[in-house]
Amino acid sequence: MTPGYLGNYTPLLIHILVAMGLAGVLLALSVLVGQHRPSREKSEAYECGMLPTGDARQPFDVKFYLVAMLFILFDVEAIFFFPWAFIYRELGMFGFYEMLVYIGILLAGYVYLLKKGALDWNA
């Protein structure tokens, strides 16, 4: 490692320290300045302005969790496009073909999900 190598991370360290300091100051101010008067109304569950009804332990349909997981999966996979696009010129045609294979795998997974009916809300 060269002597100036760690110096490249100084702005990142400053950014993290400022963010942590700002978060700490805001939390401290909310504790010091905020009013602390607990009441029955404040302790109730809040559901979009409506009075809560029924059992809070009502099970959700598995479809909800499946769609949420698929969204996270495809969202994380889409993140890989950004670094590829940033260094596209350095990669040349090899990088282009590599990304075509990656997109093909994503499309194959998407077609599989469509055929399995994972994204069909009417089922």
32 by Cβ neighbours in 10 Å (0-12 / 13-18 / 19+) ranks as exposed
Cβ atoms 88, 95 nearer than 8 A: yes
Whether this model's pTM surpasses 0.85: no
Kindly report, residue by residue over 93-108, the tens digit of the pLDDT: 998 999 999 999 988 9
Burial of 69 (0-12, 13-18, 19+ CB in 10 A): exposed
Tens-digit pLDDT profile for residues 17-61: 999 999 999 999 999 998 888 888 777 777 676 766 777 677 777
Domains of the chain: 6-116 (1.20.58.1610)
Residue 47 is predicted with a pLDDT of 67
pLDDT tens per residue, range 61-87:
777 788 888 888 888 888 888 888 888
The Cα–Cα gap between 62 and 68 comes to: 10
